[in-house]
Amino acid sequence: EIVLTQSPATLSLSPGERATLSCRASQSVTKYLAWYQLKAGQAPRLLIYDAFNRATGIPARFSGSGSGTDFTLAISSLEPEDSAVYYCQQRINWPYTFGQGTKLEIK
């Protein structure tokens, strides 16, 4: 099973700042990594798939990068509604696995 390790566990930033979230895989997932946003009481929302492709309707301030074992989700110019938990997920091997999440707090 591929283990995904996300860092930091918690990130506290102010509106307008840039957030950088990391996801590291225990073995190469090539480009097959996705990022999701999860808010309390809502279904997960796909942000990025296959490392850098923005999902439909996702603002350009969300961007993904990386390949192999190291990936980054960047959120430029944070807005209050970006407060959420962010998860990465790999789909190169079964079982699909998620990271443990990064909680982003907007001050």
Q: What is the contact surface with another protein in residues (CB under 8 A)?
A: 1, 34, 36, 38, 43-46, 49-50, 55-56, 85, 87, 89, 91, 94-101
- Residue whose pair of structure tokens reads 């944070």 in the numeric block: 78
Query: Quick one: 14 or 43, whose CB is closer to another protein?
Result: 43
Query: Quick one: 50 or 105, whose CB is closer to another protein?
Result: 50
At 80, is the secondary structure helix, strand, or coil? Answer: helix
Q: Rounded distance, CA 48 to CA 98, Å?
A: 14
Query: Quick one: 15 or 105, whose CB is closer to another protein?
Result: 105
- Residue 1 CB, nearest approach to another protein (Å): 8
At 81, is the secondary structure helix, strand, or coil? Answer: helix
Report residue 14: phi and psi, to 5°. Answer: -100, 155
